[in-house]
Amino acid sequence: MDVELFNTFSRSKEKLEPLHGREVKIYQCGPTVYDYAHIGNLRAYVSWDILRRTLEYADYEVKQVMNLTDIDDKTIKRSHDEGLTLSELTSKYEAIFLADLRHLNIKVPEHLPHATEHIAGMITIIEKLLRDDFAYKTDDGVYFNISKSKDYGALAELDLTAVTQSRIANDEYDKKNARDFALWKFWTLDDGGNVFDASFGRGRPGWHIECSAMAISELGETIDIHTGGVDHLFPHHTNEIAQSEAFTGKPFAKIWLHNEFVMVDGQKMSKSLGNLIALKTIIERGFSPLAYRYWVLGAHYRAKANFTWEGLEGAQTALARLETHIGDEVGTINKVYIKRFEEIISNDLDTPRALALAWEVAKNATLSPADKTATLLDFDRVFGLGLAPHKKEVIPENIMVLAHAREEARETKNWAKSDEIRAEIRALGWEVTDTDGGQKITKL
């Protein structure tokens, strides 16, 4: 099965042709671990999990890297606000993020590098960029000179004449061009102990250089696929390309994929509007995280998706109904349906049509229940909706809420609270045990 993907760079669908045989190297911009991820962020991670699963379905071997940004302006500020050290803060939110991935049945990428583990690589890149005159020093840091870069802004189709105009108005920090961006920021009081020595001056990396250094070090100078949300087209991905290609002299990524945004009741999600929704909110309202996953699959990743609670309820009901078509016996996978499924999913990951096909299978009275089950389970290798041949025990809502609270207590190493909640769960007739894959809940 060949896979076609919409490459933002060429604005067209392209057949995936990996650089190294059946191996596909993917870099995915990961979270800044300073707060709960919101459902928009999680849509991005579900989308790239679908990419990964589709490639595995097509017998590719996937090597996926997702960074964890554990040092930047936001993390440092938040650590001051919460009265934690930077690493206390970032490990707390990293644990919460990894739990979100587990709840959403997202396969954990092979590598999850932390920015703070790759400082030496960032320094090496910046040193070379300075030597080769792609970068320059100012009073407050080291900047990348975008006028030295070939085709700067091509990915985002930037209008650079607008840049020239804003240059006149900009007199900050001796920058040569308003859009020149910081590779390195020299130490200031606000940074406290979060500082690294470098030949060009003590300080810390800018955000963009973090991804270039981690991608190159973990995956090599040219990667097959780079993913992220549309908000990263500019400046983040534009700057990643400029600095990486200036450093290696080679193309940075062959295919760029961008997911569209989740809106809430027709509005952009933002802190200032107070409409950020985290996965825990969804769980607290009695929804299964997999209902959210089903909801995400209902829209194509390149289309905006408008979140409403009614919409999520619809997804939860649909998923529960789909589960009723999974019997105990697993028969033969239907070849005709599988062929259609492959055509749909390999066409730029068309999950809405793939789900519609699953419903066609579910409703097809000429298929035996066992063959239906086998076919739907095969689709679920890509959907990741946790469909399983043996009906799982239905865990009541109040127990799920308690289990979630307990998981959070454990993430913050609050063992006393975790034990207290376990006792509460037991009093309600359920047992919770801790396994490598997370908490297991069974009826007493």
Residues forming contacts to ligand AMP in the complex (CB under 6 A) are 29, 31-32, 40-41, 43-44, 228-229, 231-232, 259, 261-262, 269
Q: In the bound complex, what is the minimum distance in angstroms from residue 234's beta carbon to ligand AMP?
A: 12
41 binds, options ligand AMP, Zn ion, none, Cβ within 5 to 8 A by partner type: ligand AMP
Nearer to ligand AMP, 64 or 439 (CB): 64
Which tokens sit at 97?
Answer: 């993020």
In a 13 Å sphere around the CA of 254, the CA atoms on its Cβ side amount to 18
List the interface residues with Zn ion, window 276-305 (CB under 5 A): none
**The entry of ligand AMP, Zn ion, none that residue 234 binds, CB within 5 to 8 Å by partner kind:** none
Closer to ligand AMP by CB, 45 or 143: give it: 45
Based on CB atoms, which residue is closest to ligand AMP, 43 or 410? 43
Contact 276, 287 (CB under 8 A): no
Residues 6+ apart with CB under 8 A from 368: 331
Residue nearest to ligand AMP as judged by C-beta position: 229
Closest approach, Cβ 154 to Zn ion, in A, equals 18
Q: Which one, 121 or 229, has the nearer CB to ligand AMP? A: 229
Whose Cβ is closer to ligand AMP: residue 40's or residue 327's?
Answer: 40
Residue 203 binds: one of ligand AMP, Zn ion, none (C-beta under 5 to 8 A by kind): none
| Closest approach of ligand AMP to the CB of residue 35, in Å | 9
**Smallest gap from residue 211 Cβ to Zn ion (A):** 3
Long-range CB pairs of 17-21 (<8 Å, 24+ gap) are: 17/254, 18/60, 18/224, 19/222, 19/224, 19/254
For residue 228, the minimal CB distance to Zn ion (Å) is: 6
> Cβ 118 to Zn ion, closest distance in Å?
12
211 touches Zn ion by CB under 5 A: yes
Q: Are 78 and 194 in contact (CB under 8 A)?
A: no
Decide: is 209 part of the binding site for Zn ion (CB under 5 A). no
> Per CB under 5 A, does 126 bind Zn ion?
no
Question: Is 211 or 257 the residue whose CB approaches Zn ion more closely?
Answer: 211
Smallest separation, CB 26 to ligand AMP (Å): 13
29 touches Zn ion (CB under 5 A): yes
- Residue (82 or 343) nearer to ligand AMP, CB: 82
Cβ proximity to ligand AMP: between 14 and 231 the closer is 231
The least distance separating ligand AMP from the CB of residue 34, rounded to whole angstroms, comes to 9
211 interface partner picked from ligand AMP, Zn ion, none, CB below 5 to 8 A per type: Zn ion
409 binds Zn ion (CB under 5 A): no
| Closer of 31 and 121 to ligand AMP (Cβ) | 31
Candidate segments 28-36, 177-185, 198-206, 435-443, binder of Zn ion by CB under 5 A:
28-36
Count of residues touching Zn ion (by CB under 5 A): 2
Kindly state the smallest distance separating residue 246's Cβ from ligand AMP, in Å.
23
Neighbours of 194 (CB within 10 A): 18
How far is the C-alpha of 76 from the C-alpha of 85, rounded, in Å? 9
Token pair 């016996």 in the structure block, residue: 329
Question: 423: number of CA atoms within 13 Å, CB side?
Answer: 6
Instruction: State the residues that interact with Zn ion by CB under 5 A.
Output: 29, 211
